[in-house]
Amino acid sequence: MSDNTPSSSAPSGAPSNASPAPGVRRWPLILAGLVAVAVLGGVALRYGLLPSHHGQVASLEAPQGEVPAFNLKRPDALIDSASLSRLPKEVLEVPLLRDTLTEDFVFYYENNADRLGLGGSLRRIVYEHELTLKDSLIEELLDQPAQVALWRGADGRLRDFLVLMKRGGLAKVLEPLAHVAADDSQLRKVGELKVEGSPTALYRLRYGAAKTLLFASRGDYLLLLSNPKMLYPKADGDTLGEADAQASGDLAALLGGEDAFPRQFGLTARGELSQRITLDASVLAMGYQRFIPAFAGVRFDKDAKGWHSYLALNAVERQPELDFSPVWQAMPMGASACVALPLTPGLYDSLLVRLGAEQKMAAAFSEHLSGAAGLCWYADSRLHSPLLVATLSAPPSSELDDDLGKLFASMVGAFEPNAEGGSFPVDAQTNGDTRKWLRLVSSNFGQYPAEQAVDPEAISGRGFFRVGLARKGNTLLFSIDDQLLEKALGTLDKRYPPLADVLPKDALVPAYLAPQSLSALLQRETLESLPQDLEPVFRNAADSLLMPRLKALAGHGGYALGLPAGSSTDQAWQWLPLQWRPL
């Protein structure tokens, strides 16, 4: 978002999950750990292309079974707000979001079940104990400056949060609650925090059906924790256990006035901004952040002139100069949405090995990945079959092609009970300086119906994919939609226009959005996933509520999200302005 762009927007998205088909060999999508790889990985798991050995999905970020502890000074996202109650309405000042979200977005947050449950619990306490607190206490608190730090849960979504509010005399306002904490069924004092040597009471409040939050107030500060495990790692129901010493110290520092959260994202104080939303790369990369270390995060600021967007990059050893142009020169025109990020040589061998590649081959291939990689979705394909483009630093050679072919053959494919040898053969093709590898993969979600196969009886599902990898010069292409692969090869052969033709030449472009095409893609996916005869309730809800919003999305023009030409990084969390340029 940018003040010189009339139609700017904040990001939105929703993941899609489903169980993988059994017995499929793992496919790392070769380069997908590089750029929005989690999207392709999740899609491949859903459509039967990427299950792990023994049917378990292995984490690519942390060892299996390891549950990361809360680091209360290192959240995954941060909202720094002059008024939380105004945030939903100010988000709707973005034209693209105003037309697609509507006022229902505001009403949802004002009537959220958790917020209503919390308000109801406080009203009961006030009434039964004859306190002087106002019924509008929550509304008053939400209308104050606050920082909301959020952490991802085990499923990768932002779940747990900490709220730090500052208001003059706030502790005095909440003093009446301390007098009822000894004999109330929902409110209990559960401990103390040592803040600058003085004890500060910590309370637990139950609300809703089975929700719990912890809070403490001192001086001008009020601190809320949405999950007792953030302070008490072994909390289980009414039993809290021992408080974590490090977490206790971190919370005490926050109540003592330490402004720790902005520093963790390379930020200074909010200043005159009314809203600032910051997302760490861990939220967007969905577990693959260590494979794209140059990407640090994104930020959206709201000031008197409107919303502004920023991209944060890290200085990484051996990171090539930022250049996304090779990606856009290979991508066919007509994409619905695209994203590109820089690659760092030598980082991806562990990814390939954990997915089944031989160590030596994986190390050699990882060393050749360089420059940038990009991912694009197309309305004439499917949401689960984008096109991936990357570049290699190694010159084309027969040895390189042999390695690529072996990687593809060993890592792409499903167990095919009706095929000789347990899998379909790889179709390796050579045409001039172009090498291509194709393999059929049976799947109930396949792009082609089973009857279109040469041997329909050999297909074990209702359909199949024709998964393809291609190399032309130093450019690598991959998609589970072989038609997209052919279109990209046609683009490199100058037989089809590249996406680069519609992008600005005076900027680095890490992302592209075509709302009209994206709307068509999302409408198709919605209708395909909610057949009227199987899901009549959800289908009717989608027809009446979602489809009008998607059609409104189609009324907007395309955007290129650009960084200033010549942008570079020499430090961690280097924030670069991201301009939404209408096309």
Q: pLDDT (tens digit, 9 = 90+) per residue, 465-478?
A: 999 999 999 999 99
pLDDT at position 191 is 86
> Under DSSP, is residue 314 helix (H, G, I), strand (E, B) or coil?
coil
Burial class of residue 41 in the structure, from the number of CB atoms within 10 Å of its CB (0-12 exposed, 13-18 middle, 19+ buried): buried
Instruction: Give residue 343's pLDDT.
Output: 87
Q: Which pLDDT value is given to residue 532?
A: 87
What radius of gyration do the chain's Cα atoms show?
26
Q: Is the pLDDT of residue 274 over 50?
A: yes
pLDDT digits (tens, 9 = 90+) for 163-216: 898 766 555 555 666 555 555 556 788 889 999 888 988 888 876 666 788 888
Residue 313 has pLDDT above 60, yes or no: yes
What's the token pair of residue 496?
Answer: 């089809």
Structure confidence at residue 60 (pLDDT): 41
Token readout for 78 is 């941060």
CA nearest to 373, candidates 340, 400, 406 = 340
- The yes-or-no verdict on residue 105 having pLDDT over 90 is no
CB-neighbour burial class of residue 353 (10 A; exposed 0-12, middle 13-18, buried 19+): middle
Which residue from 21, 76, 79 is spatially nearest to 46, judged by alpha carbons? 21
Give dist(CA 7, CA 347) in Å, integer: 38
On the question of pLDDT at 426 being above 50, the answer is: yes
Going 138 to 139 to 144 to 147, the CA torsion angle's sign is: positive
pLDDT score for 169 = 53
Q: How crowded is residue 345: how many other Cβ atoms within 10 Å of its Cβ?
A: 17
pTM: 0.78
Mean pLDDT of the 256-270 span: 91
What's the pLDDT band for 23 if we cut at 50, 70, 90? Answer: very low
pLDDT tier for residue 463 given thresholds of 50, 70 and 90: very high
Amino acid letter for position 391: T
DSSP annotation of 146 reads E
Model confidence at 96: pLDDT above 90 = no
Calpha distance 112→141 (Å, rounded): 16
Q: Which of 93-102, 113-122, 380-389 has the lowest mean pLDDT?
A: 113-122
- The pLDDT score that the predictor gives to residue 122 is 53
CA angle (217 as vertex; 212, 220 as ends), nearest 5:
140
| CA–CA gap between residue 508 and residue 561 (Å, rounded) | 8
Question: pLDDT at position 13, please?
Answer: 33
Report residue 7's pLDDT band, with 50, 70 and 90 as the boundaries: very low
Percent of the chain whose predicted confidence (pLDDT) is above 70: 76
Distances (CA, A) of 323 to 129, 281, 565, 570: 65, 20, 10, 16
pLDDT value, residue 33:
30
Rounded to whole angstroms, the maximal C-alpha distance in the chain is: 85
SS3 sequence, 546-567?
HHHHHHHHCCCCCEEEEEECCC
Tell me the average pLDDT across 384-405. 89
Stretch among 47-61, 252-266, 286-300, 405-419 having the lowest mean pLDDT: 47-61
Return the higher-pLDDT residue of 226 and 483.
483
Measured between alpha carbons, how far is 332 from 491 in angstroms, rounded to an integer?
6
pLDDT, residue 8, reads 37
CA 317, chain centre distance (Å)? 25
Higher pLDDT, 189 or 521: 521
pLDDT averaged over every residue in the chain: 79
> Model confidence over 31-88: pLDDT tens digits?
333 233 222 333 333 333 433 332 233 334 444 334 445 788 899 999 999 988 888 8
Question: What's the pLDDT score for residue 248?
Answer: 92
- In whole angstroms, give the CA distance from residue 360 to residue 353: 9
**Could you tell me whether strands 77-81 and 295-303 are parallel, antiparallel, or unpaired per DSSP bridges?**
unpaired
Strands (E) across 179-305 are located at 187-195, 198-207, 211-218, 221-225, 275-280, 295-303
Helix (H, G, I), strand (E, B) or coil at 129: coil
Residue 451 has pLDDT above 90, yes or no: yes
- Cβ-contact 469, 413 below 8 angstroms: no
Distance CA 485, CA 449 (A): 19
| pLDDT exceeds 70 at position 531 | yes
User: Which of 167, 168, 148, 169 is closest to 158 using CA atoms?
Assistant: 148
pLDDT at 317 over 90: no
Task: Looking at mean pLDDT, say which of 58-72, 183-197, 313-327, 491-505 comes out highest.
Answer: 491-505
